[in-house]
Chain A
Amino acid sequence: MRRSGRLSLRRRQDMDTPDSGGMTPLGRKTAETGINITSTTGYSRGLTFIRTHTLFGQSPTRRIIPQTSLLQENADPQKIAFLLRKQWTLYSVTPMYKFSYGNLKEYSRLLSAFVAAEKQKGLAVEVGNDFGIKVTLSTLLGLKGTDQDQVAILVQIASRSQLPFENAEDKVVWSGWFCCISGDDLLESVPEDFTCLSLFLANGAESYTAIVGSWFQKTFDCYFSRLTISPLNLAWMAAMWTGCKVDSHMAATELVFSVPCIPQSLDISYAIHPEDAKALWDTVQKTPGEVTQEEVNLFMDCLYSHFHRHFKIHLSATRLVKVSTSIASAHCDGNIKILHSKHLIGVLTLLTELAISQIQ
């Protein structure tokens, strides 16, 4: 408890001290290719970049809402639809060393064998789909924020149908995808040997996530960590997603707060009619296409005071654990569900930013 108290104090500090210069979340790293690494005992760090930032949990005070939030033309609608309306668990991934898009087929084979081997507890390993398990790595085209972004990758584990029919379809038992939307800052700082796909989303049994993750870690020398979402960032999501236009049916904006009580914690659910929430946000937001920390704070404070007027409860003293809107829903444990393909890129941009700040 002592610990969480201290953390919340930090958050408060972050809120109170806006960083005037911070438009981009990540200190842009300058490339210094001139460093000579022959010095065997030097302090030259061998890294061709210098970072100039940030403590835990610091986040930018201003975010731009991406203008080109539509998917690129070459996107496969079927695959994109597959990504929507599913609960994804979030991970951050450090840049992968010597990953090659040309070898996806080979990787599929190796990963299939690895999954089979792990499932068989290390006994015989098998290539192909003979073990009732088939892993496929494929590209997710069109899922890009900028042209520099690396192509997203979809990994699927299918169990072979037990039915004897020819056309019996394989059943997908687990899927995960890597992407990096508008991750230019990271991309510019790493050499060509590395592939930046910093955000990983998994759906399915965690044992499969563990196997696939282990394989990637072993093969490409990367590191997977769970990506949790701080209450501060959840508030950002609440504000940014409330402001988005949705053509079709709008679901209520719902915020879930957690009150640490003994013996069981108490959850408070606060649902707002989407149009009311949008109206409130429109009065708060000053510049279209841009959101600032002050605006987010003001938006949340308005909601808090409204709630206090009716229920005499200070929500600001509780912990925001979940946000759901018509665009997407997010839980602080690091789970997300995206509902609208139109806003897919926007949501992923924010998540990529969070993932990158975790690995830097």
Chain B
Amino acid sequence: TLPSWETEGMHQRGMAKNPKQAFQVHRSSLSAWQIEERTAGLKTADLKSAQKHERGKQQSASVQAGNSTQDHLEQALTYFERIKDYIPLKKNEVLQKHLTTVESIALQRGLSPEGLDVLLNVALSGHLVNTRILKCLIPASVIAESSVVSAVSRLCVGKCSSSTQLLFLRWLIAMFDFIDHKEKLHALYGFFFCSLQDEKLCPYVCHLLYLLTRRESVSIGFSLLFLFFQGMQPHLQALLSLYKLFCPELVSITLPAKMKTYFKNSESLWKAAINTIRRRNQGTSPTSQQLILGTGHPQSRKRKWNTQLILPACSTDTKNPTRSKEINHADILSHSESFPVEQLHTFSQLLQNIHRLEFPSQMGSVLRNSLLLHYINCVKDESIYLRLYYWMGQTLQEECTWYKLDNQQYEEEFKDFLDIVYKTECFLQKGFSSCEEFLYKSLPLWDGFCCRSQILRLVSWIPLSSFSAFRHSSTMYIIHCFLSLLQCSVLESLKELLQNWLNWHVIQLDMESDPKISPLNTTLSGLVNSVAELIHFVGWIATVALRLENNATFLLYFILDFYETVCDVYLKYNLPLLVMPPPGVFYSALLSMDAVSLNQLCYIMYRYRTNLVAAKENELIKKTILQFKFSSQTYQEYNQYIMAMVGCLWTSSAFQKDIHPQGIRLDPEVLKKTKVQEVRNSFNIVHHPALMGYAILFLQQAWPEDKTLNFNLIKGRRWNWYLEYLYVQGLQGLKLFIESSINRVSQVSQTKSGNAQV
């Protein structure tokens, strides 16, 4: 349930007079929630319903506490915002108080971009002769570029002391990665460059320029640099070497070979706080993706590099610098400059630049980038899939936790990777062939437990054409899974596999209606054969599993769930194929002790009937020779089943009318020998073990005074009442079945299954 204040907040929002006010109310309640949650997180264990009253109190107290910190910070920020003139720190208790507030919150949680903006302005305004503020400017998330630009403009005014300027530069270097955009900062390149003149600032300005320098910056920089170039100071040298890298033709000077450190350490003041924030934001920071080199894991001697499963970072393809130069010349004429993938953040950007987008240098990086996945979907380039194929195939093989002993400790990473692969497959609506091959190769060695859910989900994207290969290579694995009680999960993933194939088929049909697109290489008969093979395969393993598990209800549910898809293949997916469940499945469900299974079976048989009737009608209407017809065997099988069902549920003739070779027909002589009284009545909707419970409840409600439970009372009109009762109890499958497959016009006792036959 939602904490009470939330609804309160909503209520207030509703009552608010103007939208702005409403927003504020809502926001404050939200921040209260965040704090509340944090405190609640520590205490969830002892918050029980008995302490409900207590809880209310605690909650309001903690909300208040959270509010007060937030209030203090806001007060402090307002205070700093209003500073318009020089304020001495000494003996100024208000200022002291606000400074302390800001410091403590900043070091704990970091500051919002807005807060940073206010404080940065104050720190560089020259009104405060103190560097304490600069030392606590820790961002909680990012720093707005505009704040930095305005801060730099304050530097130009020259009101702040040189030590403040120095500290600001160090801060800027330390926080460089947190600045959200850097375009405007790049525009200030020349300004920073001029600051090189200042001897004290020079090392830090160099470092900043080093961070800012791009290929384009060099032309501005290089000619000026020589003016300041004296005595080969390491920081200048570093900058120069960078220029030389970008434009070797402009820098002819030779730089000394060995130099250990170039820049003074700027981060030290903020390092601890930055690390805390990095840790908090972990995973989202692009800087965390580093090249892992050299440091081999102590336990894996053979894998000193490529040791960690890291998806490559998205970066522009830079392999042909000569080519890109050519393009630069061509730009002037054609604007054909390519759009760097690093800058692709929104869908509209994708749409605007789709004609000049280049794939990243490592194709594996698209797995985490849904925009590029969209792009992949509409680009005709086989090299995309080939690059992905090789990269993914090798990664899977190298990281597979049960194939290499060394990998066992990396199971979590491998799971994450498999998850990403699966999600990508879902996104693209197609399976990767490298993934499919990985399954073939590795499943025979799989223990059935490691990364189980990931593996089973990947199975559902095996391409249709290669299912038989899969079957052959993984028989061992299937048996293994069945011995280790994985039946339900396997059935679930095979059901998804079937649905994926069928969906694919439907889309193909849509596309074939468009004459521009040539039909794909998979023929309809190939598809039908593959789907039939899958269904037969599942039928086979289902039979085995039911036998192993003594017809467990839970398992039966998953099997029937699979057949709910199978029975509707013709109508729902327009695929001319109907496969009846094997007798091992059919009779398990029919004679189940459980009404749910029986109801499910009734629904399935109703859908089979609907599909078969529709197929027959189509045949009659079109009168053309259809390429695919349901064989008479399918109809025959269906009829045999339907007779057994009608006998079992309606006519009480289960042992007489069942003509299926594996059915429950029994010789009258044998039946006599059992000496069971009223054998005839053993199976119908009253006496069927799955329904008898309902019959008893019905009797108790209809004749509360009669304690003898006389089932024979349910007859004639009462039989119909009883049926209505069953329908009301939720047995809708039974209802559909009886209404469709049983002729109610004739006498109840003489109902023939004949009408049920199609």
Contact = CB atoms under 8 A, between A and B. Distances in A.
Interface in A97-132: 97-98, 100, 103, 106, 110, 113, 118, 123-128, 130-132
Contacts of B431: 43, 45
A280 interface: no
Contacts of B440: 55
Interface in B224-268: 237-238, 241-242, 244-245, 248, 254-259, 261-263
B291 interface: yes
Which of B257, B364, B386, B389 has the most chain A CB atoms inside 10 A of its CB? B386
A37 B391 contact: no
Interface stretch (A188-196, A235-243, A305-313): A188-196
A174 B256 CA distance: 23
Contacts of B92: none
A46 B294 contact: no
Contact of B305 (A40, A41, A209): A209
Contact of B382 (A42, A48, A126): A48
B397 interface: yes
A333 interface: yes
A191 B362 contact: no
A34 B386 contact: no
B403 interface: yes
Contacts of B501: 43
B745 interface: no
Interface in A211-265: 211, 213-214, 217-226, 228
Contacts of B302: 226, 228, 333-334
A95 interface: yes
A206 B304 contact: yes
Given A47-B385, A55-B473, A127-B244, A42 B517 contact: no
Interface in B450-475: 463-465, 473
Contact of B319 (A36, A160, A220): A220
Contacts of A359: 390, 393-394
B262 A191 contact: no
Interface in A18-69: 32, 34-48, 51, 55-56
Interface in B724-756: none
Interface string B288-306: 0001011010000011111
Contact of A39 (B237, B261, B387, B520): B520
B242 A125 contact: yes
B441 interface: yes
B518 A36 contact: yes
B663 to A, nearest CB: 39
B577 to A, nearest CB: 17
A124 B521 CA distance: 54
A204 to B, nearest CB: 13
B753 to A, nearest CB: 42
Interface in B640-688: none
B517 A36 contact: yes
Interface stretch (B176-184, B193-201, B503-511, B560-568): B503-511
Interface residues of A, number: 71
Interface in B504-559: 504, 507-508, 511, 517-518, 520-522
Contact of B405 (A3, A160, A207, A209): A3
A124 B262 contact: yes
A30 to B, nearest CB: 12
Nearest to A189: B386
A250 B362 CA distance: 48
B501 to A, nearest CB: 8
A94 interface: yes
Given A125-B241, A210-B305, A221-B361, A110 B321 contact: yes
Which of A34, A48, A94, A334 has the most chain B CB atoms inside 10 A of its CB? A94
Per DSSP, chain A at the interface is: loop
B125 interface: no
A46 B385 contact: yes
A123 B382 CA distance: 38
Nearest to B392: A223
Contact of B245 (A113, A193, A209, A333): A113
A219 B361 contact: yes
A53 B164 CA distance: 69
Interface string B429-443: 111110001001110
A10 B256 CA distance: 58
Given A3-B405, A191-B382, A207-B293, A218 B362 contact: yes
A214 B304 CA distance: 12
B398 A43 contact: no
Contacts of A334: 302
A36 to B, nearest CB: 6
B445 interface: yes
Nearest to B461: A43
B346 interface: no
A218 to B, nearest CB: 6
Given A42-B430, A225-B394, A211 B521 contact: no
A253 B423 CA distance: 53
Contacts of B263: 123
B291 A214 contact: yes
A211 B293 contact: yes
Interface string B622-639: 000000000000000000
B463 A46 contact: no
Contacts of B304: 206, 210
B377 interface: yes
A42 B257 contact: no
Interface string A143-175: 000000000000000001000000000000000
A7 B445 CA distance: 8
Contacts of B398: 225
Contacts of B261: 123
Contacts of B64: none
B383 interface: yes
Contact of A126 (B245, B315, B504): B245
A215 to B, nearest CB: 10
Contacts of A98: 317, 319-320
A41 B473 CA distance: 27
B291 A41 contact: no
B319 A42 contact: no
A149 B402 CA distance: 35
Interface string B600-611: 000000000000
A41 B245 contact: no
A125 B245 contact: yes
A210 B293 contact: yes
Given A47-B385, A194-B383, A95 B521 contact: no
Contact of B320 (A35, A100, A193): A100
A63 B441 CA distance: 23
A104 to B, nearest CB: 12
B444 interface: yes
Nearest to B240: A124
Nearest to A7: B445
Contacts of A36: 517-518, 520
B383 A97 contact: yes
Contacts of A123: 238, 261-263
Nearest to A132: B257
Nearest to A110: B321
A211 B295 CA distance: 12
B390 A213 contact: no
A47 B386 contact: yes
Interface of B: 210, 237-238, 241-242, 244-245, 248, 254-259, 261-263, 291, 293-294, 296, 302-306, 312, 315, 317-322, 361-364, 377-378, 380-387, 389-391, 393-395, 397-398, 402-403, 405, 428-433, 437, 440-442, 444-445, 463-465, 473, 501, 504, 507-508, 511, 517-518, 520-522
5 contacts: A55-B441, A125-B241, A126-B245, A225-B306, A333-B302
Interface of A: 3-4, 6-7, 10, 32, 34-48, 51, 55-56, 94-95, 97-98, 100, 103, 106, 110, 113, 118, 123-128, 130-132, 160, 190-191, 193-194, 206-207, 209-211, 213-214, 217-226, 228, 333-334, 358-360
